[in-house]
Structure 1
Amino acid sequence: MRERLWLSGYRAWELNVYGDHDPKLKVLKYSLKIQLQQALDEGMQWLITGGELGIEQWGIEVALGLKADYPELQIAMMLPYAEFGHQWQAENQERLAKRRSQVDFARETSTQPYTQPAQLSGYNRFMAQHTDGALFYYDQDFPGKPQYAYKAAQAEANRRDYAVRTVTMPDLEDVGRELAEAENSDFQN
Protein backbone atom coordinates (compact mmCIF):
# COMPACT_ATOMS: atom_id res chain seq x y z
CA MET A 1 0.00 0.00 0.00
CA ARG A 2 1.33 3.42 -0.98
CA GLU A 3 -0.09 5.67 1.74
CA ARG A 4 2.11 8.70 0.97
CA LEU A 5 2.40 9.59 -2.72
CA TRP A 6 4.87 12.11 -4.12
CA LEU A 7 3.40 13.95 -7.11
CA SER A 8 5.59 16.00 -9.41
CA GLY A 9 6.11 16.71 -13.06
CA TYR A 10 6.49 19.33 -15.70
CA ARG A 11 6.13 23.05 -15.07
CA ALA A 12 3.35 24.82 -16.96
CA TRP A 13 5.80 26.43 -19.38
CA GLU A 14 7.37 23.04 -20.17
CA LEU A 15 3.94 21.82 -21.28
CA ASN A 16 3.20 25.07 -23.14
CA VAL A 17 0.17 25.68 -20.94
CA TYR A 18 -0.43 29.38 -20.58
CA GLY A 19 -3.48 30.40 -18.60
CA ASP A 20 -6.41 28.69 -16.95
CA HIS A 21 -8.34 28.38 -20.22
CA ASP A 22 -5.69 26.53 -22.22
CA PRO A 23 -7.36 23.39 -23.71
CA LYS A 24 -4.35 21.26 -22.68
CA LEU A 25 -5.10 22.04 -19.04
CA LYS A 26 -8.45 20.26 -19.27
CA VAL A 27 -6.69 17.08 -20.42
CA LEU A 28 -4.01 17.38 -17.73
CA LYS A 29 -6.55 17.84 -14.93
CA TYR A 30 -8.66 14.97 -16.25
CA SER A 31 -5.55 12.76 -16.24
CA LEU A 32 -4.62 13.92 -12.73
CA LYS A 33 -8.10 13.07 -11.50
CA ILE A 34 -7.89 9.56 -12.95
CA GLN A 35 -4.41 8.97 -11.51
CA LEU A 36 -5.27 10.35 -8.06
CA GLN A 37 -8.53 8.39 -7.85
CA GLN A 38 -6.61 5.23 -8.70
CA ALA A 39 -4.03 6.01 -6.01
CA LEU A 40 -6.80 6.69 -3.47
CA ASP A 41 -8.49 3.40 -4.35
CA GLU A 42 -5.11 1.71 -3.78
CA GLY A 43 -4.80 3.20 -0.28
CA MET A 44 -3.19 6.61 -0.69
CA GLN A 45 -3.88 8.78 2.36
CA TRP A 46 -1.44 11.64 1.75
CA LEU A 47 -0.70 13.45 -1.49
CA ILE A 48 2.65 15.15 -1.03
CA THR A 49 3.74 17.61 -3.67
CA GLY A 50 5.52 20.90 -4.17
CA GLY A 51 4.37 24.34 -5.17
CA GLU A 52 5.69 24.60 -8.72
CA LEU A 53 3.40 26.16 -11.32
CA GLY A 54 2.26 23.20 -13.35
CA ILE A 55 1.58 19.60 -12.40
CA GLU A 56 2.19 20.21 -8.69
CA GLN A 57 -0.30 23.07 -8.25
CA TRP A 58 -2.81 21.48 -10.64
CA GLY A 59 -2.49 18.27 -8.65
CA ILE A 60 -3.36 20.13 -5.46
CA GLU A 61 -6.35 21.72 -7.18
CA VAL A 62 -7.62 18.35 -8.42
CA ALA A 63 -7.00 16.69 -5.05
CA LEU A 64 -8.95 19.42 -3.26
CA GLY A 65 -11.86 18.63 -5.57
CA LEU A 66 -11.62 14.93 -4.67
CA LYS A 67 -11.89 15.55 -0.92
CA ALA A 68 -15.70 15.50 -1.08
CA ASP A 69 -15.61 11.86 -2.19
CA TYR A 70 -12.43 10.96 -0.29
CA PRO A 71 -12.65 12.87 3.03
CA GLU A 72 -9.68 10.91 4.42
CA LEU A 73 -7.36 12.44 1.81
CA GLN A 74 -4.69 14.73 3.23
CA ILE A 75 -2.62 17.07 1.07
CA ALA A 76 0.85 18.34 1.91
CA MET A 77 2.79 21.05 0.08
CA MET A 78 6.50 20.76 0.66
CA LEU A 79 8.69 23.56 -0.66
CA PRO A 80 12.46 23.27 -1.21
CA TYR A 81 13.46 26.49 0.57
CA ALA A 82 12.17 29.56 2.40
CA GLU A 83 10.69 32.34 0.27
CA PHE A 84 9.97 29.88 -2.54
CA GLY A 85 8.20 31.71 -5.39
CA HIS A 86 9.04 35.20 -4.14
CA GLN A 87 10.48 36.16 -7.54
CA TRP A 88 7.31 35.13 -9.43
CA GLN A 89 4.78 37.59 -10.85
CA ALA A 90 2.26 38.81 -8.28
CA GLU A 91 -0.57 36.68 -9.71
CA ASN A 92 1.51 33.49 -9.42
CA GLN A 93 2.62 34.40 -5.90
CA GLU A 94 -1.04 34.80 -4.94
CA ARG A 95 -1.86 31.43 -6.53
CA LEU A 96 0.91 29.76 -4.51
CA ALA A 97 -0.26 31.43 -1.29
CA LYS A 98 -3.85 30.34 -1.95
CA ARG A 99 -2.84 26.71 -2.59
CA ARG A 100 -0.65 26.76 0.51
CA SER A 101 -3.58 27.98 2.61
CA GLN A 102 -5.82 25.22 1.24
CA VAL A 103 -3.63 22.19 1.99
CA ASP A 104 -3.56 20.26 5.24
CA PHE A 105 0.17 20.69 5.81
CA ALA A 106 2.82 23.01 4.36
CA ARG A 107 6.51 23.41 5.16
CA GLU A 108 9.91 24.04 3.62
CA THR A 109 12.65 21.40 3.63
CA SER A 110 15.25 24.17 4.02
CA THR A 111 14.58 27.11 6.31
CA GLN A 112 17.00 29.30 4.36
CA PRO A 113 16.15 31.19 1.15
CA TYR A 114 17.69 29.72 -1.99
CA THR A 115 21.47 29.85 -1.91
CA GLN A 116 22.70 26.73 -3.70
CA PRO A 117 21.62 23.78 -5.87
CA ALA A 118 22.23 21.41 -2.94
CA GLN A 119 18.93 22.64 -1.47
CA LEU A 120 17.11 21.31 -4.52
CA SER A 121 18.84 17.94 -4.51
CA GLY A 122 18.23 17.73 -0.75
CA TYR A 123 14.57 18.48 -1.36
CA ASN A 124 14.31 15.65 -3.91
CA ARG A 125 15.98 13.20 -1.51
CA PHE A 126 13.68 14.34 1.29
CA MET A 127 10.59 13.83 -0.87
CA ALA A 128 11.68 10.34 -1.94
CA GLN A 129 12.61 9.28 1.59
CA HIS A 130 9.37 10.56 3.15
CA THR A 131 6.93 9.00 0.68
CA ASP A 132 5.97 5.44 -0.24
CA GLY A 133 5.89 5.92 -4.00
CA ALA A 134 5.88 8.56 -6.71
CA LEU A 135 3.72 9.67 -9.61
CA PHE A 136 5.51 11.79 -12.17
CA TYR A 137 4.17 13.52 -15.23
CA TYR A 138 7.44 12.96 -16.99
CA ASP A 139 8.65 11.43 -20.22
CA GLN A 140 12.32 10.49 -20.56
CA ASP A 141 12.11 11.42 -24.25
CA PHE A 142 11.28 14.99 -23.19
CA PRO A 143 13.67 15.79 -20.35
CA GLY A 144 13.07 18.90 -18.33
CA LYS A 145 13.04 20.04 -14.73
CA PRO A 146 11.29 16.86 -13.47
CA GLN A 147 14.26 14.71 -14.47
CA TYR A 148 16.03 15.49 -11.19
CA ALA A 149 13.06 14.46 -9.04
CA TYR A 150 12.59 11.38 -11.22
CA LYS A 151 16.24 10.37 -10.72
CA ALA A 152 15.89 10.78 -6.95
CA ALA A 153 12.77 8.59 -6.98
CA GLN A 154 14.53 5.96 -9.12
CA ALA A 155 17.45 5.96 -6.66
CA GLU A 156 14.98 5.41 -3.82
CA ALA A 157 13.38 2.55 -5.78
CA ASN A 158 16.82 0.92 -5.98
CA ARG A 159 17.06 1.02 -2.17
CA ARG A 160 13.60 -0.18 -1.16
CA ASP A 161 10.11 -1.09 -2.32
CA TYR A 162 9.21 2.25 -3.89
CA ALA A 163 6.99 2.34 -6.95
CA VAL A 164 7.63 5.09 -9.48
CA ARG A 165 4.76 5.58 -11.92
CA THR A 166 5.03 7.93 -14.88
CA VAL A 167 2.50 9.57 -17.13
CA THR A 168 4.20 10.15 -20.49
CA MET A 169 3.35 12.28 -23.50
CA PRO A 170 1.74 9.29 -25.33
CA ASP A 171 -0.30 8.59 -22.17
CA LEU A 172 -1.56 12.18 -22.23
CA GLU A 173 -2.45 11.86 -25.92
CA ASP A 174 -4.51 8.76 -25.07
CA VAL A 175 -6.25 10.60 -22.23
CA GLY A 176 -6.96 13.51 -24.56
CA ARG A 177 -8.61 11.18 -27.08
CA GLU A 178 -10.58 9.47 -24.31
CA LEU A 179 -11.81 12.82 -22.99
CA ALA A 180 -12.75 14.03 -26.48
CA GLU A 181 -14.69 10.82 -27.16
CA ALA A 182 -16.49 11.09 -23.82
CA GLU A 183 -17.41 14.72 -24.45
CA ASN A 184 -18.52 13.93 -28.01
CA SER A 185 -20.66 11.05 -26.73
CA ASP A 186 -22.21 13.30 -24.07
CA PHE A 187 -22.86 15.98 -26.71
CA GLN A 188 -24.64 13.51 -29.02
CA ASN A 189 -26.87 12.12 -26.26
Structure 2
Amino acid sequence: MKTVVVTGYKPMEIGIFKANDHKIEFVKETIRKRLLAYMEEGLEWVIHSGQMGVELWTAEVVLDLKEEGYNIRLGILPPFENQQERWPEDLQQVYEEVTMLADFFRPLYQKGYDGPYQFRARDQFLVEHSDGCLVLYDEDTKGSPDYFLKTAEKYKETKDYQILYITPLDLEETVEERRMSDPDYWNQ
Protein backbone atom coordinates (compact mmCIF):
# COMPACT_ATOMS: atom_id res chain seq x y z
CA MET A 1 0.00 0.00 0.00
CA LYS A 2 1.44 3.32 -1.06
CA THR A 3 -1.62 5.39 -0.03
CA VAL A 4 -4.02 4.66 2.83
CA VAL A 5 -7.18 6.44 3.96
CA VAL A 6 -7.47 6.59 7.74
CA THR A 7 -10.89 7.25 9.20
CA GLY A 8 -13.17 6.29 12.06
CA TYR A 9 -15.44 7.73 14.67
CA LYS A 10 -15.99 11.32 15.67
CA PRO A 11 -15.03 11.97 19.33
CA MET A 12 -18.57 11.97 20.74
CA GLU A 13 -19.35 8.65 19.04
CA ILE A 14 -16.75 6.95 21.25
CA GLY A 15 -17.44 8.87 24.45
CA ILE A 16 -14.72 11.50 24.13
CA PHE A 17 -15.93 14.98 24.99
CA LYS A 18 -12.74 16.82 26.00
CA ALA A 19 -9.59 17.55 24.02
CA ASN A 20 -7.42 16.32 26.91
CA ASP A 21 -9.19 12.96 27.39
CA HIS A 22 -6.50 10.32 28.02
CA LYS A 23 -8.29 7.88 25.67
CA ILE A 24 -7.11 9.99 22.72
CA GLU A 25 -3.50 9.06 23.48
CA PHE A 26 -4.33 5.35 23.24
CA VAL A 27 -6.09 5.87 19.91
CA LYS A 28 -3.16 7.90 18.56
CA GLU A 29 -0.61 5.37 19.78
CA THR A 30 -2.52 2.53 18.11
CA ILE A 31 -2.71 4.48 14.83
CA ARG A 32 1.00 5.30 15.08
CA LYS A 33 1.96 1.62 15.47
CA ARG A 34 -0.12 0.66 12.43
CA LEU A 35 1.27 3.45 10.27
CA LEU A 36 4.85 2.58 11.20
CA ALA A 37 4.21 -1.04 10.18
CA TYR A 38 2.68 0.08 6.86
CA MET A 39 5.59 2.46 6.25
CA GLU A 40 7.97 -0.50 6.55
CA GLU A 41 5.96 -2.07 3.73
CA GLY A 42 6.15 1.05 1.51
CA LEU A 43 3.41 3.42 2.70
CA GLU A 44 4.02 6.95 1.38
CA TRP A 45 0.74 8.85 1.84
CA VAL A 46 -1.94 9.05 4.52
CA ILE A 47 -5.09 10.77 3.28
CA HIS A 48 -8.44 11.66 4.81
CA SER A 49 -11.05 14.41 4.88
CA GLY A 50 -9.97 16.10 8.11
CA GLN A 51 -13.06 15.19 10.13
CA MET A 52 -12.87 15.73 13.87
CA GLY A 53 -11.91 12.62 15.84
CA VAL A 54 -9.90 9.80 14.32
CA GLU A 55 -8.98 11.78 11.22
CA LEU A 56 -7.63 14.84 13.07
CA TRP A 57 -5.80 12.57 15.54
CA THR A 58 -4.28 10.72 12.58
CA ALA A 59 -3.12 14.03 11.10
CA GLU A 60 -1.39 14.85 14.38
CA VAL A 61 0.28 11.41 14.40
CA VAL A 62 1.51 11.81 10.81
CA LEU A 63 2.84 15.30 11.52
CA ASP A 64 4.67 13.94 14.59
CA LEU A 65 6.17 11.15 12.47
CA LYS A 66 7.33 13.72 9.88
CA GLU A 67 8.90 15.79 12.66
CA GLU A 68 10.75 12.68 13.83
CA GLY A 69 12.23 12.32 10.35
CA TYR A 70 9.97 9.68 8.84
CA ASN A 71 9.27 9.96 5.12
CA ILE A 72 5.47 10.08 5.12
CA ARG A 73 3.08 12.58 3.54
CA LEU A 74 -0.29 13.85 4.68
CA GLY A 75 -3.15 14.72 2.33
CA ILE A 76 -6.36 16.33 3.62
CA LEU A 77 -9.32 16.50 1.24
CA PRO A 78 -12.45 17.84 2.96
CA PRO A 79 -15.75 17.46 1.10
CA PHE A 80 -16.30 21.25 0.98
CA GLU A 81 -14.78 24.52 2.16
CA ASN A 82 -15.02 25.52 5.83
CA GLN A 83 -16.23 22.13 7.07
CA GLN A 84 -14.93 23.09 10.52
CA GLU A 85 -16.87 26.35 10.92
CA ARG A 86 -19.48 24.87 13.32
CA TRP A 87 -17.03 22.82 15.37
CA PRO A 88 -15.92 23.68 18.91
CA GLU A 89 -13.22 26.35 18.85
CA ASP A 90 -10.41 24.08 20.11
CA LEU A 91 -11.08 21.61 17.26
CA GLN A 92 -11.21 24.43 14.73
CA GLN A 93 -7.71 25.45 15.84
CA VAL A 94 -6.39 21.90 15.45
CA TYR A 95 -7.99 21.68 12.01
CA GLU A 96 -6.43 24.97 10.90
CA GLU A 97 -3.00 23.86 12.13
CA VAL A 98 -3.00 20.42 10.49
CA THR A 99 -4.38 21.72 7.19
CA MET A 100 -1.61 24.33 7.07
CA LEU A 101 1.07 21.68 7.75
CA ALA A 102 -0.34 19.00 5.44
CA ASP A 103 1.60 18.14 2.28
CA PHE A 104 -1.61 18.46 0.30
CA PHE A 105 -4.86 20.21 1.18
CA ARG A 106 -7.78 20.88 -1.13
CA PRO A 107 -11.54 20.78 -0.56
CA LEU A 108 -13.22 18.57 -3.15
CA TYR A 109 -15.94 21.17 -3.73
CA GLN A 110 -14.80 24.77 -3.89
CA LYS A 111 -17.88 25.98 -2.01
CA GLY A 112 -19.54 25.51 1.35
CA TYR A 113 -21.91 22.73 2.37
CA ASP A 114 -24.53 22.11 -0.29
CA GLY A 115 -25.88 18.65 0.46
CA PRO A 116 -25.16 15.03 1.43
CA TYR A 117 -23.88 14.30 -2.10
CA GLN A 118 -20.64 16.03 -1.06
CA PHE A 119 -19.99 13.40 1.60
CA ARG A 120 -20.70 10.55 -0.82
CA ALA A 121 -18.38 12.14 -3.38
CA ARG A 122 -15.71 12.53 -0.69
CA ASP A 123 -15.86 8.86 0.26
CA GLN A 124 -15.77 7.76 -3.38
CA PHE A 125 -12.83 10.05 -4.15
CA LEU A 126 -10.80 8.86 -1.14
CA VAL A 127 -11.38 5.20 -1.97
CA GLU A 128 -10.52 5.65 -5.65
CA HIS A 129 -7.30 7.50 -4.77
CA SER A 130 -5.95 5.00 -2.24
CA ASP A 131 -4.78 1.41 -2.07
CA GLY A 132 -6.68 0.66 1.11
CA CYS A 133 -8.15 2.07 4.28
CA LEU A 134 -7.58 1.79 8.01
CA VAL A 135 -10.80 2.32 9.93
CA LEU A 136 -11.26 2.59 13.70
CA TYR A 137 -14.47 0.63 13.94
CA ASP A 138 -16.52 -1.59 16.22
CA GLU A 139 -19.20 -3.70 14.53
CA ASP A 140 -21.37 -3.29 17.64
CA THR A 141 -21.23 0.51 17.49
CA LYS A 142 -22.71 1.96 14.34
CA GLY A 143 -21.75 5.50 13.44
CA SER A 144 -20.19 7.78 10.87
CA PRO A 145 -17.63 5.20 9.59
CA ASP A 146 -20.52 3.08 8.25
CA TYR A 147 -20.98 5.35 5.25
CA PHE A 148 -17.32 5.24 4.26
CA LEU A 149 -17.17 1.47 4.78
CA LYS A 150 -20.13 0.89 2.44
CA THR A 151 -18.31 2.79 -0.29
CA ALA A 152 -15.05 0.91 0.36
CA GLU A 153 -16.77 -2.49 0.39
CA LYS A 154 -18.57 -1.75 -2.87
CA TYR A 155 -15.31 -0.61 -4.46
CA LYS A 156 -13.56 -3.77 -3.23
CA GLU A 157 -16.07 -5.91 -5.14
CA THR A 158 -14.37 -4.98 -8.43
CA LYS A 159 -10.91 -3.67 -7.40
CA ASP A 160 -7.95 -4.83 -5.34
CA TYR A 161 -8.58 -2.79 -2.20
CA GLN A 162 -7.58 -3.47 1.40
CA ILE A 163 -9.97 -2.73 4.25
CA LEU A 164 -8.12 -2.86 7.57
CA TYR A 165 -9.50 -2.20 11.03
CA ILE A 166 -8.51 -0.90 14.42
CA THR A 167 -10.91 -2.59 16.82
CA PRO A 168 -11.67 -2.09 20.52
CA LEU A 169 -9.42 -5.10 21.15
CA ASP A 170 -6.50 -3.32 19.43
CA LEU A 171 -7.08 -0.28 21.65
CA GLU A 172 -7.20 -2.49 24.77
CA GLU A 173 -3.90 -4.05 23.69
CA THR A 174 -2.31 -0.60 23.51
CA VAL A 175 -3.65 0.28 26.96
CA GLU A 176 -2.27 -2.99 28.38
CA GLU A 177 1.14 -2.50 26.72
CA ARG A 178 1.36 1.00 28.17
CA ARG A 179 0.36 -0.27 31.62
CA MET A 180 2.88 -3.09 31.56
CA SER A 181 5.68 -0.75 30.45
CA ASP A 182 5.10 1.32 33.61
CA PRO A 183 7.67 0.19 36.24
CA ASP A 184 5.13 0.79 39.02
CA TYR A 185 2.88 -1.87 37.46
CA TRP A 186 5.41 -4.57 38.37
CA ASN A 187 5.98 -3.26 41.91
CA GLN A 188 2.41 -3.79 43.07
TM-score (norm 1): 0.92
Q: How many residues align?
A: 187
Q: Does 1:168 align with 2:167?
A: yes
Percent identity over paired residues:
26
Q: CA offset at residue 146 of structure 1?
A: 0.8
* Aligned counterparts, 1:71-82, within 5 A: 71-82=70-81
What is the aligned partner in structure 1 of residue 48 from structure 2?
49
Kindly indicate whether residue 12 of structure 2 is the aligned counterpart of residue 25 of structure 1: no
**Is residue 180 of structure 2 the alignment partner of residue 181 of structure 1?**
yes
Q: Which runs of 5+ in 2 are unaligned?
A: none
Runs of at least 4 residues of structure 1 off by over 6 A?
none
Give the distance between the partners of 2:126 and 2:93, measured in 1 at CA. Answer: 24
Write the distance in 2 (CA, Å) between the matches of 1:158 and 1:60.
29
AA at the equivalent of 1:179: R
Whether the aligned pair in 1 keeps the contact of 2:180 and 2:186 (CA below 8 Å) is no
Deviation readout 1:83-117 (Å, 9 max, x if unpaired): 21111233322221111011111011112211111
The Cα of 1:24 is off from its aligned counterpart by: 0.8
Q: Residue 140 of structure 2 corresponds to which residue in structure 1?
A: 141
- Partners of 1:132 and 1:88 lie apart in 2 by 30
Shift of 1:41: 0.9
Gaps of 5+ in 1: none
Name the counterpart of 1:154: 153
How far apart are 1:74 and its partner, in Å? 0.8
**Structure 1 residue 120: Cα displacement:** 0.6
Letter of the structure 1 residue corresponding to residue 138 of structure 2: D
Q: Which amino acid aligns with 1:175?
A: T
Residue 38 to residue 185, structure 1, CA distance change in 2 (3 Å): farther
Q: 1:49 to 1:129 in 2, by over 3 A?
A: same
CA distance in structure 1 between the aligned counterparts of 2:109 and 2:137, rounded to whole angstroms: 25
TM (normalized to structure 2)? 0.92
- Cα distance in 2 for partners of 1:154, 1:69 equals 34
Q: CA RMSD in A?
A: 1.7
CA displacement at 1:157 relative to structure 2: 1.4
The letter of the residue matching 1:95 is V
1:113 counterpart residue number: 112
**Deviation of the 1:140 alpha carbon:** 1.7
Q: State the alpha-carbon separation in 1 of the partners of residues 48 and 90 from structure 2.
A: 20
Question: Which secondary structure state, in structure 1, belongs to the residue aligned with residue 157 of structure 2?
Answer: helix
Secondary structure, in 3 states, of the residue corresponding to 2:179?
A: helix
1:36 aligns to 2:35 (yes or no): yes
In the alignment, the residues of structure 2 paired with residue 103 and residue 184 of structure 1 have an alpha-carbon distance, to the nearest angstrom, of: 37
Quick one: distance in 2 between partners of 1:16 and 1:131?
29
**Letter of the 2:19 counterpart:** D
In 2, distance between residues paired with 1:26 and 1:86? 25
Which residue of structure 2 lines up, in the alignment, with residue 6 of structure 1?
5
* C-alpha distance in 1 between matches for 2:28 and 2:7: 13
